[in-house]
Chain A
Amino acid sequence: MKIDIQTILPLAIAIPLGMGFILPLLGKKLTRLADVAANLATASLVCLSIILLVGRLQGGGAEVYWMGGWRITAGGTVFGINLVLDGLSALMLVLVSVVSFASTLFSSRYMDQYTGRSKYYGLFMLMIAGMNGCVLTGDMFNLFVFLEIAAVSSYALVAFGCESDELEASFKYLILGCVASSFILLSIALLYAQFGALNMAQLGERMAELGVNKGSLLALMMLLAGLGVKAALVPFHAWLPDAHPSAPAPISAMLSGVLIKAIGVYAIIRVVFNVYGWTPELGMALMVLGTLSMIVGGVLAMRQGDFKRLLAYSSISQIGYVVLAIGLGTPLGILAGLFHLANHAIFKSLLFLTSGAVQYRTGTRQLDEMGGLAQKMPITGRTCLVGSMSIAGIPPFNGFFSKLLIIIACVAAGRWGFALCAVIISIVTLAYFLKVQKNAFYGKLKDKWAQVREVPLTMQCSMVLLAVLCVAMGLLLVPGLREAVLEPARDALYQGVKGYQEVVMTLLGSGG
């Protein structure tokens, strides 16, 4: 069956956007209906994204979609709003939808603790719409717009509980996010001022013609800093350890699992590889930022007593791995980074969900107050173990393979120091996740948790789903699947400015 991508591509944005406005209409009474609708929406997104992934394979290369078929060319510049579906976008799309499906599944019972569920789902859907738009768009300004949609909904979602911690975290997140957005917008303005184009492909083309000068360098640095805030790279990370733990658990899963990647890392690598073009210095900057995040996040996670805060710091650390690997700029490095990015989306959201499950039953996030919970909550304990093992890089879970690739890529690129850092931090990662296991799930059961029960079935289902994925994702490295999923994503980046521009520009004609 030939899939007409042109028909269904915008649905990836339209469905969550529409649901984002329909769900709040359901109000306070029809909460179960809101659950069902939200789950159906995310499930349909999963199907859609997989169809897109498969369909893109059938169609070969990338797909470019012009909104409303509206496009004018004037003075060599193409105006119009376009969506670009290449391997990287398709991969990100699948990740976003899978994680959001697991999160909505988890939310249906978890959000019993909160009021205003339909609004929650509305914001949730808006966030998904923002992320989907962000990974699909082929134009700098729309990137900014979608990024802000996702970010604003996430600010609100972090503050959803309206307790003092949550408000504080949300406020800090908001302020830093705002500063970042101004940086991003300013740099987009600078780029437009110099090159007179917003379309990424065209921007890249002109930049290649005119060469990088001071102004575009300033723009690049501002973009790097702004998107670095969104991606929580050290030293732009400070909001993350506050914001991610404060949000409701499914939201933490979304934030750590996909948001910082979709609107942070994805945007960075898209700009660096497809607009500016990778250069050794740029790669070095990414690698240094990545390594710094890796180390700082890992070391700080060791010191945390709060389950979710620990997970948040570990997100910083893992994002560091991703950026380090991608910054290498070698095909293997990019592949490793993207693979780790995908894996991290799965296992970090799993871990946040399990932390939410623990909080749901015990009401605490402090590790030293827990203990022996694996006896009472076997599924949560198992899935958390799987997640921890994955993130710590214990075979046969997926984290092992991506870490293996990252280390190999670092060594192969001759970056010995970075490889050593990666190895050491992977040990530290293992150490703090074993601390989680030791304090929360093993050891002696405290008396006050004698009545604790396992979480409801839907929550279990979502955790088990992700845990199974943790094991199954390792198979993505098998060449057959790698060629279908990871390598197109890798190629989308590795082809650089010229390739991207060719892909998008040759498809200009077929769009409208």
Chain B
Amino acid sequence: MTGMTVIVKTVTRWTAALIFLYGAYVVAYGHLGPGGGFAGGVILACAYILITLAYGGEHALRVLPRAVASRLDSFGALAFLALALVGMVGGGLFFTNWLQQKWAGKAFHVFNGGIIPLANVAIAIKVCMSLFLVFFILSSVRMFGKDEQIDFRSKEVD
């Protein structure tokens, strides 16, 4: 994959960062409006997918190395789980919203959902990286031919 024409590359240059930003926005406001970890994560992944499409796989891997992606992938899920487990510390329940009391902000403000925004962020990381990996691997299958080991990872979120 060598990438596309200069037009696409340039537009990608202009927009990728903005798409990422928008994804971050969707994630951050997931608890206030439509969106959330999954939708935002998909948008985040779109930024990287756009780069992959426009510039080719190699450049995309320079921006986001595969090892980093798969580690972040696991990290996202673990962070989500850790958030849930922290709720159990001190006799609470699984998924107890342990931040809600201490960090109760004002309604409709960003910092008020307790652990929910944090969980959204974790999910977003997970989804973004998973989607990127899935896309990347699928797009590279034809490229590398038979010997490339497919990474059969299934992605589960929510």
Contact = CB atoms under 8 A, between A and B. Distances in A.
A151 to B, nearest CB: 9
A14 B153 contact: no
Contact of B154 (A6, A22, A67, A153): A153
B153 A119 contact: yes
Interface in A145-166: 145, 148-149, 152-153, 155-156, 159-160, 162
**On chain B, which size bracket covers the interface?**
20 to 34
B71 interface: yes
A116 B149 contact: yes
Nearest to B85: A14
A347 B26 CA distance: 51
Nearest to B84: A14
A68 B156 contact: no
A496 B34 CA distance: 40
Interface stretch (B3-11, B49-57, B94-102): B94-102
Contacts of B94: 9-10, 14, 65, 67-68
Contact of B70 (A18, A24, A70, A156): A24
Contacts of A440: none
A14 B81 contact: yes
A18 B95 CA distance: 14
Interface string A1-43: 0000011011000100110111011000000000000000000
B78 A22 contact: yes
B82 to A, nearest CB: 8
Contacts of B81: 14, 17-18, 21
B78 A123 contact: no
**On chain A, which size bracket covers the interface?**
35 or more
A119 B95 contact: no
A226 interface: no
A398 B75 CA distance: 44
A149 B93 contact: no
Contacts of B73: 21
Contact of A119 (B84, B93, B97, B152): B152
A66 interface: yes
A70 B85 CA distance: 15
B93 A69 contact: yes
Contacts of A9: 94
A70 B70 CA distance: 32
B74 A6 contact: no
Interface string A36-67: 00000000000000000000000000000111
A162 B150 contact: yes
A126 interface: yes
B3 to A, nearest CB: 29
Chain A CB within 10 A, most for which of B74, B77, B152: B152
Interface in B38-66: none
A68 B153 contact: no
Chain B CB within 10 A, most for which of A14, A65, A115, A155: A14
A24 B97 contact: no
A68 B152 contact: no
Interface string B122-158: 0000000000000000000000000001111110101
Contacts of B97: 68, 70
A140 to B, nearest CB: 16
B91 interface: yes
B91 A7 contact: yes
A17 B126 CA distance: 14
A126 B156 contact: yes
A116 B152 CA distance: 10
Contact of A7 (B78, B88, B95, B150): B88
B154 A66 contact: no
Contacts of B149: 115-116, 162
Chain B CB within 10 A, most for which of A24, A65, A160: A24
10 A-B pairs with the lowest CB-CB distances in the bound complex, closest first: A68-B95, A10-B94, A21-B77, A21-B74, A152-B154, A156-B152, A69-B93, A67-B95, A25-B74, A21-B78
Given A17-B81, A116-B151, 13 more contacts: A10-B93, A14-B81, A18-B78, A18-B85, A65-B93, A67-B94, A68-B96, A69-B92, A70-B97, A123-B154, A156-B153, A162-B152, A512-B93
